[in-house]
Amino acid sequence: MNSRMEAIPAGWHEQIINLLAERIVVTDREGKIIYINEAYCEFLGTTVEVAINRPVQDVIENTRMHIVAKTGQKELAALHPINGSEMIANRYPLIVDGELVGALGTVMFRSPEEWRMYKTKIQHLVEELKYYKTKVEKELKSKYYFHDLIGSSQPFLAAKKLAERISASNSSVLLIGESGTGKELFAHAIHNHSLRSSLPFVAINCASIPEHLLESELFGYDDGAFTGAKKGGKKGQFEIAHNGTLFLDEIGDMPLSMQSKLLRVLQEKEVQRVGGQKSIPVDVRIIAATHRDLEKMVEEGKFRRDLYYRLNVIKIEIPPLNKRKGDIKLISMSLLKKLERKFFRTGIGMSEEVEQRLMEHSWPGNIRELENVLERAINVLDGQTIEVFHLPLYLREGQNSNGIASAMGEAESVEEMSSQITPLKEAVAQVEKEAILKALTVTSGNKQEAARLLEIGKTRFYEKCKLYDIK
């Protein structure tokens, strides 16, 4: 025996084996059991005294240990039917001094349930690790190309053509357009069409980050810069985007104090971390986007004029959906293909009446609202064709001013008309509920933004949602 093994007292070996492998059996070349531990015997419903020196196939149902002892071929993670269930076993040939002398068997899992319990325990950790790994990789890459920008209307094609033409430049780009028109898709496509396409693409929404965190998010911070600062400091988005593209969405919502710091970075091409003294050079192309009228904000003193001119080297105006209604069908079909993958569906289409309703709508939420409408329709769709009754109520009823007159025209008598009248309280409640649902559709579920669109206070809005059971 190896001198290191000899150092272990003989009485310890049994316990060590039991701890390393709870259920273990050893056979000789002929398949006779020369060792089996108590844990395995308890599982089999026998004792060590009864099992020892007997043929393994007489003790263990459906065993293959005697076969492995003869073939010398190991069998790992093998399903083994036993006791009306299936365990998972490993079987190894034992080779001593180059000679096959027997076999070793261990039970990994006594049943499929035990395996599933073990798998569940580690699966969450594996998935979490995979999530963070892919998140870091994906978030630094742009996801869309110019072929993903769907449309054939003249205003849209002009914006797309200009974006393609200036992609190879390093000049700053300012994307102007209403919320939901696809400004971020344009930014992704410009980066992917540029010489920086293989380098980082970093997107940051200036409106979604609190003012006191925006500086450290953009420029990073040094160790000990403030209470709770991460040990060793943290890179800012400018450093992460070095040699690539930084997309500043909702630039019009950036506080004035941050605008001056951003201007300095763009002029000096270097950043200084919060709490740091060292200047760090950065080479970043800026693409900014906003739905606000920056020129008006400049006149009102709400946006720095010098920063506006620094960003507004190349301005691309993306038309709203109501200015390119001829593209609605094309965009809808493209969105349906995307949603089919999400819902594991195929072959979904729209009826002609649905297409007409989509064409008639004003689309204040633009493409984002259209996607939400189609996703809602697929959620309640049983067949393959979206019909009018699958659409939200505000699209089903239409929005023309002749709705009341036409309803009255269809009524054949005063009795029929009276039967169609809803009590005023219920009618008001219905209108309020539909207005809230429509606002939430336009804002992709953002309740604060929906309250702003409806021009009511946030507290009152939440009270209404509770009243009408809107989640």
Does residue 103 sit in helix, strand or coil?
A: strand
Q: Do 160 and 324 contact (CB within 8 A), yes or no? A: no
Specify the residue for token string 């049943």: 111
Pairing of strands 99-109, 173-176: unpaired
pLDDT of residue 410: 40
pLDDT tens digit at each of 471 positions of the chain: 455 556 777 777 777 766 665 789 999 999 999 999 888 888 888 999 999 999 999 999 999 999 999 999 999 888 888 877 788 889 999 999 889 999 999 887 776 676 667 666 667 777 777 766 666 655 666 688 999 999 999 999 999 999 999 999 999 999 999 999 999 999 999 999 999 998 999 999 998 888 888 988 999 988 777 766 677 788 899 999 999 999 999 999 999 989 999 999 999 999 999 888 889 999 999 999 999 999 999 999 999 999 999 999 999 999 999 999 999 999 999 999 999 998 888 999 999 999 999 999 999 999 999 999 999 999 999 889 999 999 998 888 764 433 333 333 343 444 444 555 667 777 777 788 888 888 888 888 888 888 888 888 888 888 888 787 787
Range(s) within the chain of domains with CATH label 3.40.50.300 = 146-319
pLDDT of residue 158: 95
Identify the CATH class of 12-111: alpha beta
pLDDT of residue 83: 78
CA gap 417, 411 in Å, rounded: 6
CA gap 435, 443 in Å, rounded: 12
CA gap 399, 321 in Å, rounded: 17
Range(s) within the chain of domains with CATH label 1.10.8.60 = 325-399
CATH number for 146-319 (one of 3.40.50.2020, 3.40.50.300, 3.40.1440.60, 2.40.37.10): it is 3.40.50.300
* Structure letter (DSSP) for residue 324: -
* Residue 153: count of CB within 10 angstroms of its CB: 17
pLDDT of residue 407: 38
Residue 167: CB partners within 8 Å, gap ≥ 6?
189, 190, 191, 193, 194
Task: Give the up-direction half-sphere exposure of residue 375: CA atoms within 13 A in the CB hemisphere.
Answer: 15
Q: Could you write out the three-class secondary structure of 389-442?
A: HHCCHHHHCCCCCCHHHHHHHHCCCHHHHHHCCCCHHHHHHHHHHHHHHHHHHH
* Residue 7: count of CB within 10 angstroms of its CB: 7
Task: Give the up-direction half-sphere exposure of residue 462: CA atoms within 13 A in the CB hemisphere.
Answer: 3
Model pTM above 0.85: no
Does residue 278 sit in helix, strand or coil?
A: coil
Identify the CATH class of 325-399: mainly alpha
Look at the domain 414-471 and name its fold: Arc Repressor Mutant, subunit A (1.10.10)
Range(s) within the chain of domains with CATH label 1.10.10 = 414-471
Q: In terms of C-beta density within 10 A (0-12 exposed, 13-18 middle, 19 or more buried), how is residue 159 classed?
A: buried
Range(s) within the chain of domains with CATH label 3.30.450.20 = 12-111
Q: Do 453 and 438 contact (CB within 8 A), yes or no? A: no
106 φ, ψ (degrees, to nearest 5)? -130, 150
204: its two tokens = 């940051």
CA gap 339, 345 in Å, rounded: 8
167 φ, ψ (degrees, to nearest 5)? -55, -40
CA gap 331, 459 in Å, rounded: 36
Q: Do 269 and 281 contact (CB within 8 A), yes or no? A: yes
Does residue 81 sit in helix, strand or coil?
A: strand
Specify the residue for token string 């002029």: 267
Q: Do 150 and 330 contact (CB within 8 A), yes or no? A: yes
Task: Give the up-direction half-sphere exposure of residue 321: CA atoms within 13 A in the CB hemisphere.
Answer: 26
Q: In terms of C-beta density within 10 A (0-12 exposed, 13-18 middle, 19 or more buried), how is residue 35 classed?
A: middle
Specify the residue for token string 């009485």: 11
CA nearest to 31, candidates 89, 94, 110: 94
366: its two tokens = 């633009």
8: its two tokens = 């272990």
pLDDT of residue 457: 83
Q: Do 272 and 219 contact (CB within 8 A), yes or no? A: yes
